[in-house]
Structure formats: structure tokens, C-alpha cells
């Protein structure tokens, strides 16, 4: 199904998805808040047999994130394994993370609804930018597109530092 597995030890197996979303594509939402998922992203989902997406507000940035269901499930499994069910704070963190998520299904035209609460959380009012982030897709208000990006000189320095 588009996954391969790496065994790190006798007890730990990690699954890596081959789904890859790249690029920055603008789209306009209609008056009801529906927006077309860019066709390049829909094709990638279809090729991997994914039909359900999970959307939630990003934890760090003022944007929304779409996760293919398999990626979301892997992330939740990993999070659940790290958090103690008997620790009140850790349960609250997990609850808040999961409660902010919603299932998104594309209609026959490839559209989905960004509900009012989610749109407000990300300051989305009309035109959006979809940014492919490898295994997920960020949705930004188009007018905020400079926020997730750093100046080119800072980017060059940061990537050099991180990849050395």
C-alpha cells in the first residue's frame, strides 16, 4: 500500500509512507467555505489508496494541516505510545490534540469544507495556499504566506547548519 518497513530492533518497527506532497498552490474558497484540493495532491492520495483526510489546526503555526488517514493514525499511535494514560497532563494533551481534529472527505469534484471554526483559527477568509509538506498538506491564508517562510539568506544558513 505504499509503505515500507524498517526494523530498528527486534521490538521496534517503523513504517514510512511513500506519499509525498510538494509545492505551493493557491486556491479560492467559495462562499460556503469549500475549497478544491489541488489535483496534484488528489492524484497522490488516489495513487496510495487514501480517500479520508484528517484536518486540524497546526500546533505551532496559524494554519491548518491535512493528514492522510494512514499518516494521522501512525502519528496518533506514536503519540499514544509516548504518553502515559494515567498522567492527567499527558491525557489532557492527547485529548486536546485529538479533539481539535476532524475527518474530511472530498466530494465528487474534489472539494472539501473548511468549517467556520477552522477558518477562523487560521485567519482564512478567501484565497488559500496549500503547501505540500511531504506526508501532510498545510493550508494557509494566502495573505499570510510570508509567515511560514524565512528570508532566503536565513534559509541558506539554516539548511547548511541543519544538514552538516
Give me the pLDDT at residue 17, please: 52
Q: Which of 125, 123, 149, 126 is nearest to 64 (CA)?
A: 123
* pLDDT the model gives residue 147: 67
pLDDT in tens, 9-33: 333 444 455 678 999 999 999 989 9
Nearest to 131 by CA among 118, 145, 110: 145
Which neighbouring-strand residues pair with 68?
Answer: 53
When pLDDT is cut at 50, 70 and 90, the band that residue 150 belongs to is confident
Q: Distance between CA atoms of 35 and 27, rounded to whole angstroms?
A: 7
Cα distance between the two ends of the chain: 34
pTM: 0.83
What pLDDT sits at residue 145?
A: 79
Amino acid at each position: 500500500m505504499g509503505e515500507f518497513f524498517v526494523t530498528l530492533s527486534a521490538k521496534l518497527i517503523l513504517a514510512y509512507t511513500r506519499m509525498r506532497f510538494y509545492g505551493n498552490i493557491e486556491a479560492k474558497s467559495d462562499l460556503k467555505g469549500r475549497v478544491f484540493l489541488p489535483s496534484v495532491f488528489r492524484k497522490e492520495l488516489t495513487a496510495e489508496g487514501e480517500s479520508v483526510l484528517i484536518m486540524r489546526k497546526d500546533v505551532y503555526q496559524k494554519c491548518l494541516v491535512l493528514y492522510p488517514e494512514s499518516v494521522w493514525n501512525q502519528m496518533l499511535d506514536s503519540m499514544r505510545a509516548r504518553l502515559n494514560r494515567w498522567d492527567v497532563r499527558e491525557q489532557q494533551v492527547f485529548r486536546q490534540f485529538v479533539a481539535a481534529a476532524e475527518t474530511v472527505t472530498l466530494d465528487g469534484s474534489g472539494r472539501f469544507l473548511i468549517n467556520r471554526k477552522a477558518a477562523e483559527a487560521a485567519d482564512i477568509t478567501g484565497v488559500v495556499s496549500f503547501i505540500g509538506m511531504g506526508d501532510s498538506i498545510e493550508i494557509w491564508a494566502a495573505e499570510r504566506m510570508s509567515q511560514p517562510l524565512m528570508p532566503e539568506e536565513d534559509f541558506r544558513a539554516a539548511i547548511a547548519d541543519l544538514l552538516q
